Amino acid sequence: MKNKKISSNTILLFITIALFVVMYAAGCIVYSAKGFSHLQTFLNILINNAGLLCVACGMTCVMLTGGIDISVGSLIAMDCMLLSVGMERWHMNAIALCVLVLVIGIVFGLVQGFCIGYLEIQPFIVTMAGMFFGRGMTAVICTDQVSISSNKLFVALANMKIPLPFGAYTSRRGIVQVPYIRISVVIALVVLVVIFLMLRYTKFGRNLYAVGGNETSATMMGLNVKKTKLKAYVLSSFLCSIGGICYCLNTMSGSVQQAKGLEMNAISSAVIGGTLLTGGVGNVIGSFFGVLINGTISTLVKTNGKLLSSWSNIAVAALLCFFIVLQSIFAKIKNSKN
């Protein structure tokens, strides 16, 4: 029998999952009176963070190559604004607008990816330029807050409840509540599964890991590092645009200040999920739990009601520190072994 060693990365992933479970269970016990233990609370976390989950998947891919993409928040704002203004002011078809948003995402990613992969400019600088551009373009499209209400198809999609066949309960007033999810959750979960399979079973997915592991080696082994990076940023922006549509389905509006700092939530989710900023290590499953932890924290703070919402930032900060310290301890142990 082979004695399988569990790698430290797997341990980190388990810690993340365990932390989520503990945190959620604690919430269920402490706030059971406020209905925290109902399945719908969990589903709401998914609904509220569907957009973030898409973005976090793309961010994970980029971070695997050792890069970063901080343009995603602005890109989401731009997408939402385009969707809102397109539907409300220009009276465009919802489907056509969604396709347009996705195409813009791809072009956006191509430009960023070209600068990073082929011109070898620092990802931080390039995507920072992308961040300013996106936020600026949002304001150029429209400076008002625009709400979507007239487009029937889009409103119908946003309000559509997909009931789950299990977990129904009777509320205190005696009404039977069937837990439901929204279309955005379906989209986000499909993205998650597709990216998970892509990272594991396609050449491109493995190349992302190789590039992040050691760029020189990847080149020496005959991989096209430049192209891989380009594709990673295209993927990130594309997934971000999908996330933008999910986000818009939740908020049903566009405004210049929307999704500010979302890129940082995506990065922190990936890091909490075990993705290394230096690249080469990480998985979207981890990022999924990272997003859930982020969502749970803010839900806990909200459910408490008395706490300032900024406490969720402090909790995330503490968790980030915890995970980064943990990662570096594991790295130290590994080094001392060799």
Applying CB under 8 A, the residues found at the interface with other proteins are: 2, 5, 7, 197, 200-203, 206-207, 209-210, 212-214, 216-223, 280-281, 334, 338
Instruction: Kindly state the smallest distance separating residue 188's Cβ from other proteins, in Å.
Output: 23
Q: How far is the CB of 201 from other proteins (least distance, A)?
A: 4
Distance CA 72, CA 307 (A): 29
279: three-class secondary structure by DSSP: coil
**Least distance CB 202 / other proteins (angstroms):** 6
Q: Which amino acid is at 44?
A: N
Closer CB to other proteins, residue 113 or residue 280?
Answer: 280
Judged by beta carbon, residue 6 or residue 33, the one nearer other proteins is 6
By beta-carbon proximity to other proteins, the closer residue of 222 and 305 is 222
Distances (CA, A) of 71 to 14, 86, 137, 233, 235: 30, 22, 12, 10, 13
Nearer to other proteins, 202 or 328 (CB): 202
Residue 183 CB, shortest distance to other proteins, in Å, is 28
Q: Shortest Cβ distance from residue 236 to other proteins (Å)?
A: 20
First to last CA, the chain: 25
**How far is residue 147's CA from residue 313's CA, in Å, rounded to a whole number?**
28
> Closer CB to other proteins, residue 64 or residue 98?
64
- Given a contact cutoff of 8 angstroms between Cβ atoms, the answer to whether 60 and 287 are in contact is yes
CB atoms within 10 A of CB 335: 8
- The DSSP code sequence of 13-43 is HHHHHHHHHHHHHHHHHHTGGGTTTSHHHHH
